[in-house]
Amino acid sequence: MSTKKHIVIGCGVCGLTTALHLFRAHSSISTNMTLLSHHQPQEPSDDISKIIRIDYPNLRRMKEAAYAKEVWETDQCFRQFYQPVGRVVAYGEEDVETLYRIDGARLQLGMQKRERLDHQTIAKIIGPANLPPGLTFVWNDDDSLVEWKGCMQAMQDLVKRHCEEDDGSKMLELQALKLLHEGGRVCAVVLPNEEQIQATDAEVIVAAGPWITELLEKSGIAQPPASRSPVATGLFAFTLQLNEEQTLFFKGKPAFSHIGYAEFLPPTKSDGIAKITCISPFTNTESSSSLSYPRDFSGSSLAIDTMLKMKRWAQKFLPGLGGAKIISIRSYWDGMTQTQTPLISRHPQYRNLSIVGGGSYNRAKDLPVLGEEVVKMLADEPLHPSYGWHPSDDLSNQDQPRLLARGDFGDLEREAEKNPEVQAWRLKRASRIEHDYLEEI
């Protein structure tokens, strides 16, 4: 049996899809894969639910997303976690141009423009709300939710099973500390306790999500060009515990997105756990370095400031959530490329090193299919240039401009610390008996 050695660093979306498709592509030979799985609460994969949608202003991205959606709907591996509940989307005046571009792309693909909704119909779908004027509401009947925790666990188990069946393959719960290199090749991956995995004869695939640039920096390896670099970009999400009545009402109901502001994802399980994400991303350039570093900011003033904003948003747009408890603040990160297309490329200076990342807050939906591109790249087959290493001036794929960082954490935190509302919340919290929740909507 011939073998080819692979080392995959990171077992989130990009790492697991890579592993899955490598096992499929090499079914007749040993894949000889070592996966390094090191999970952190700030990773985009550690989530309860994700949205699967096809609407993008860019035609090519829309086709890609439609292909991924088809696999979610038809492949039993994925279908069991897929919930076709639809989504109500609100576009403000500054974002409605995006909707027109989406409508244009839909027409080109032979689909209908998105159906506009009046306030009465919205009330029927997500309950009565105090909706402000100036918003255009549309109904995305074909959007879906994924029960994400279960899905990621199942993917991880599936890849582990492939490892067991494939002589020499294994998944190790270990962090890669850095890569050693010599003569234009990565020669070893350094693990905790000074252990090393020899890599000279392996393909090394770095799929470490928002930590990619930090790992390259620690390894003394050149970064991708600025416009293709997966810049660690953070935001906050809030876990809600709904009461029984709310769980019955919202479970199976559509998600609700207010473009550029916030997103509500109803429970995907009967536990009544839902999620609000605030769309207000930032970088974290801690020092003089030009890189951005993912860190846990869930206890920051900015996090509290954002939580209080989200509470007001929910009270206005989803009054049915009144009384729901905010039980945790999540500080999340994703790698964001300037074009919002992932980087799937060999490193030009190291013949056995590839980078797969830069999900740009929209690649969970590509879990079933993205690995196909990675397999092609490793076989030196051409990929669409937008995945490539080289800078591109083409920003037409920048489909979600509101997900690009709006500032740097340090500056935003200093502002939030001055907010009297945040100071009052901290005082109140310090003086009262601990609740098992942070805030009530």
Residue ranges in contact with ligand FAD by CB under 6 A = 9-15, 36, 38-40, 43-45, 47, 50-51, 175-176, 207-209, 211, 215, 237, 277, 332, 334-335, 357, 359, 361-365
DSSP letter assigned to residue 118: -
CA 247 to each of CA 126, 129, 238, 311: distance values in angstroms, whole numbers, following the listed order = 13, 18, 17, 18
For the CB of residue 279, give the shortest distance to ligand FAD in the complex, in Å.
Answer: 10
Q: Which is nearer to ligand FAD, 40 or 328 (CB)?
A: 40
Q: What's the first-to-final CA gap in the chain, in angstroms?
A: 60
Q: For strands 231-241 and 273-278, give the pairing.
A: antiparallel
Here the tokens at position 59 are 């035609």
Q: Which is nearer to ligand FAD, 384 or 429 (CB)?
A: 384
For the CB of residue 177, give the shortest distance to ligand FAD in the complex, in Å.
Answer: 7
For the CB of residue 2, give the shortest distance to ligand FAD in the complex, in Å.
Answer: 28
DSSP letter assigned to residue 41: T
> Do the Cβ atoms of 224 and 343 come closer than 8 Å?
yes
Q: Which of 50, 58, 57, 55 is closest to 66 using CA atoms?
A: 55
Q: Which is nearer to ligand FAD, 38 or 114 (CB)?
A: 38
Sheet holding 87-91, edge to edge: 115-117, 136-140, 87-91, 255-258, 262-265, 273-278, 231-241, 325-336, 439-440
For the CB of residue 120, give the shortest distance to ligand FAD in the complex, in Å.
Answer: 28
Q: Which is nearer to ligand FAD, 272 or 281 (CB)?
A: 281
For the CB of residue 213, give the shortest distance to ligand FAD in the complex, in Å.
Answer: 11
Q: Is the dihedral of CA 155, 157, 162, 167 positive or negative?
A: positive
Q: Which is nearer to ligand FAD, 123 or 222 (CB)?
A: 222
For the CB of residue 16, give the shortest distance to ligand FAD in the complex, in Å.
Answer: 8
For the CB of residue 408, give the shortest distance to ligand FAD in the complex, in Å.
Answer: 18
Backbone angles phi, psi at 149, to 5 degrees: -60, -50
For the CB of residue 103, give the shortest distance to ligand FAD in the complex, in Å.
Answer: 21
For the CB of residue 134, give the shortest distance to ligand FAD in the complex, in Å.
Answer: 25
Here the tokens at position 261 are 């502001």
Here the tokens at position 93 are 């005046």
Q: Which is nearer to ligand FAD, 63 or 119 (CB)?
A: 63
> Do the Cβ atoms of 39 and 156 come closer than 8 Å?
no
Q: Which is nearer to ligand FAD, 150 or 319 (CB)?
A: 150
Q: Is the dihedral of CA 345, 383, 73, 247 positive or negative?
A: positive
Q: Which is nearer to ligand FAD, 84 or 319 (CB)?
A: 84
Q: Which of 189, 160, 198 is closest to 23 using CA atoms?
A: 160
Q: Which is nearer to ligand FAD, 15 or 266 (CB)?
A: 15
